[in-house]
């Protein structure tokens, strides 16, 4: 039997593809939301320096 035609391999590849698609859709949305919330907090209270520390 050829390994490329194995039904179990096809199922694993399909599930992996679906998981990666889900991650590619959800993670950018969560990062945009997180960045927006952080930006709003900084605009509301610009004197708070502990949220954004200098790297130097």
Compute, in degrees rounded to 10, the torsion defined by CA atoms 25, 26, 27, 33. Answer: 120
Distance CA 56, CA 54 (A): 6
Whether the full predicted model's pTM is greater than 0.75, yes or no, is no
16-47 pLDDT per residue, tens: 999 999 999 999 999 999 999 988 988 888 77
Q: What is the dihedral of CA 28, 34, 36, 41, to 10 degrees?
A: -170
Scan for tokens 């708070």, then name that residue. Answer: 48
């Amino acid at each position: 039997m050829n390994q490329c035609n194995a039904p179990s391999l096809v199922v694993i590849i399909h599930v992996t593809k679906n998981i990666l698609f889900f991650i590619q859709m959800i993670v950018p949305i969560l990062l945009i939301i997180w960045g927006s919330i952080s930006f709003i907090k900084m605009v509301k209270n610009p004197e708070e320096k502990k949220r954004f520390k200098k790297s130097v």
